[in-house]
Amino acid sequence: MDWHSSGITTSVIGALKRGLAPLEWELGIHVCGGRGRYSRQTPHELVAIGEKVGFDGLALATASRLVAKVDSAAVQDGFQLYLHGFIVTDKGYWVVVQQGMNGARKKARRYHWLSEGLTSFVDEPHTAVEGPGQGEIVNLTDRRAEASRRLQVELLSSLGPDAITRQLSMLEAREVALSPPGCTEHPLLPHLDLPAHHDVRASDVVARRLYGNLAAAADRGPADFPELLLTPGVGARTVRALAMVAEIMHGAPYRFTDPARFSFAHGGKDRHPFPVPLRVYDETIRVLRSAVRNARLGREEELSAVRRLDAQARLLERYASEPSVEALIAQELDRSARLGGSDGIGMGRCAMDGGELFRCAGRE
Q: Using H for helix, E for strand and C for coil, what is the string for 165-186?
A: HHHHHHHHHHHHHHCCCCCCCC
Single residue among 129, 160, 191 that ends a domain in this structure: 160
Q: Is residue 23 part of a domain?
A: yes
**Do residues 19 and 149 both lie within one domain?**
yes
Q: Is residue 170 part of a domain?
A: no
Q: Counting every residue, how long is the chain?
A: 364
Residue 159 confidence (pLDDT) above 60? yes
54 and 146 part of one domain: yes
Q: What is the pTM of this model?
A: 0.53
Cβ distance 147 to 43 under 8 Å?
Answer: no
Mean pLDDT of 3-27: 90
Asked, for residue 197, whether it belongs to a domain, the answer is no
Boundaries of domain holding 310 = 202-361
- Whether pLDDT at 68 is above 80: yes
What pLDDT does residue 30 have? Answer: 96
Annotate 214-261 with DSSP letters as a single string. HHHHHHHHHHH-HHHHHSTT--HHHHHHHHHHHHHHH--GGGGS-GGG
294 close to 302: Cβ distance less than 8 angstroms: yes
CA 203, 346, 14, 291 dihedral sign is: negative
Looking at the structure of the chain, the number of domains it has is 2
User: With bands split at pLDDT 50, 70 and 90, how would you rate the model's confidence at 134?
Assistant: confident
Looking at the structure, tell me whether residues 238 and 156 fall in a common domain.
Answer: no
Q: Give the residue, 188 or 64, on which the prediction is more confident.
A: 64
* 154 and 13 assigned to the same domain: yes
What digits encode the pLDDT tens for the residues 16-39? 999 999 999 999 999 999 998 889
Classify residue 42: in a domain, yes or no: yes
- Is pLDDT above 70 for 347? no
176 domain-assigned: no
Residues 6 or more apart in contact with residue 239 via CB below 8 angstroms: 217, 220, 221, 225, 228, 229, 309
- Spatial contact of 76 and 138, defined as CB atoms under 8 Å apart: yes
What average pLDDT does the segment 306-327 reach?
72
Could you say which of 160, 178, 193 is where a domain stops? 160
What's the pLDDT score for residue 293?
A: 81
Residue 177: inside a domain, yes or no? no
Region of residue 340 (phi > 0: left; psi between -120 and 50: alpha; otherwise: beta): left
Is 195 within the bounds of a domain? no
- Convert 142-160 to b/e letters by CB count within 10 Å (16 or more is b): beebeeeeeeeeeeeeeee
Q: Which pLDDT score, from 0 to 100, does residue 185 have?
A: 44
Q: Are residues 8 and 135 located together in one domain of the fold? A: yes
Give the model's confidence band at 349: pLDDT under 50 very low, under 70 low, under 90 confident, else very high: very low
- 142 in a domain, yes or no? yes
State residue 64's pLDDT score. Answer: 94
Residue 140 shares a structural domain with residue 207: no
- Banded pLDDT at 202 (limits 50, 70, 90): low
Residues 87 and 147 in one domain: yes
Single out the residue in 127, 142, 160 at which a domain terminates: 160
Three-state DSSP class for residue 294:
helix
Q: What is residue 353's predicted lDDT score, i.e. its pLDDT?
A: 38
Q: Are residues 146 and 210 in the same domain?
A: no
245 phi and psi angles, rounded to 5 deg: -65, -40
Is residue 248 domain-shared with residue 140, that is, in the same domain?
no
- Assess whether 208 and 151 both reside in one domain: no
Which range of 28-32, 243-247, 296-300, 338-342 scores highest in mean pLDDT? It is 28-32
